[in-house]
Chains A and B, each alone.
Chain A
Amino acid sequence: MRPKPDRLMPALYGGLIIAGISAIPGLNLINACCCAGILLGGFLAVFFYKQELTPDMDSLTSTDCVRLGALTGVIAAVAGTAISILVMLVFGNIAIETMMNIIHRMNVELPSNIEQLIEDGMREKISLLGAMFSLMINLFVDVLFSTLGGLIGWSVFKPKAIG
């Protein structure tokens, strides 16, 4: 039996997909539905890993999928935070602006205090503490949901003999 392929590359692809979805304004609205983008990243990491497995290797296990999902989440959190900071430095707080445009287009009325809070948020600058806080929250959420995505991947791609 040949050893299984390294988990880093599929996790990197999955993590970058999540980071892209989370950091690109407009596209990050996918995550507004129960972190669907993060679930998708974990799922795709398992899919990419499955593609690298050949018949002369041990088959996919649930432990592989959990580890792959968790690693994908860690990569996504670090890359996502870095990309969001870059986007904010280059374009300003366009994420909130895009979201506000969509909310106005959907004819959703926000209470005046929330509008004020959003306007204050748009004027906010990046701070080291804020970035760290954001990274910690992203780490928790991304690892949790990406692992769940990995488990969905296991449920879909598991070898038939085991299931």
Chain B
Amino acid sequence: MTPLRFLLTSVFLWCAAIVATPVLASFDGAAAKAASLLYQFFFCVCHQLDSHSFHLAGFKFAVCVRCTSIYAAFFLGLLFSPMIRRTRIVDVHPARVLILSLVPMGFDVALATFGIHESTTMTRGITGLIFGLALTIVLVPVLEESADKFLSRVRTLAITLAERNLRNLQSALNLRNPSNQSRINHATKTR
């Protein structure tokens, strides 16, 4: 698995959990319990206000409109990251990209908090999308680098474990039937 595919799968699962929560909540029994756990889990990440959320099957998403937009933009950015990398925007310093993308969101939140302007689904969605795309520009190259290191470590660990298991299996077989060892030795010599 390539680092990009690993990241895409992880982010897709996160986004799928957000969309699956209201669908699960619309059923009874175990599905509803799973939805309740997912709502509780995502409450650590988002305020989950009903009026600030998208709805599906009569139930709200696991996170608000702004957070949904951020994660969706991040997923889309990740999907199109090979194309984004070819543009010159990746040459801009990451701190500048982050600060610039935070400005519209900061204004939207601050003005709504002080009652100057009412934040709407549209403004929350657009500002979230901008921040999510900026996060893609800043995070994807470093995430890919880290995922590559992580995956190569997992691969090395898996190979070491497999080798150890094979050796253990071989010695167990030899203990059970000592003539196996002489056969193996003979086969190696003839080869």
Q: Which residues of A contact B (CB under 8 A)?
A: 29, 31-35, 62-63, 65-66, 99, 103, 106, 108-111, 114, 137-138, 141, 145, 148, 151-152, 154-156, 158
Contacts and interface: CB of A to CB of B under 8 A. Distances in A.
A6 B94 CA distance: 26
Interface of A is mostly: helix
Contacts, number: 68
Contacts of A155: 94, 138-139, 141-142
Closest 3 CB pairs of A and B: A32-B47, A155-B94, A141-B44
Given A145-B45, A156-B138, 12 more contacts: A29-B47, A32-B64, A33-B66, A34-B45, A35-B45, A63-B146, A106-B112, A108-B49, A110-B49, A137-B44, A152-B138, A155-B141
Contacts of B145: 62
Given A62-B149, A111-B50, A141 B45 contact: yes
Contact of A110 (B50, B94, B98, B113): B50
Interface of B: 40-41, 44-47, 49-52, 64, 66-67, 70, 93-95, 98, 105, 109, 112-113, 138-139, 141-143, 145-146, 149
21 contacts: A29-B47, A31-B44, A33-B66, A33-B105, A34-B46, A62-B142, A62-B145, A108-B51, A110-B50, A114-B50, A137-B41, A141-B44, A141-B45, A148-B139, A151-B143, A152-B94, A152-B98, A152-B138, A155-B138, A155-B141, A156-B93
Nearest to A63: B149
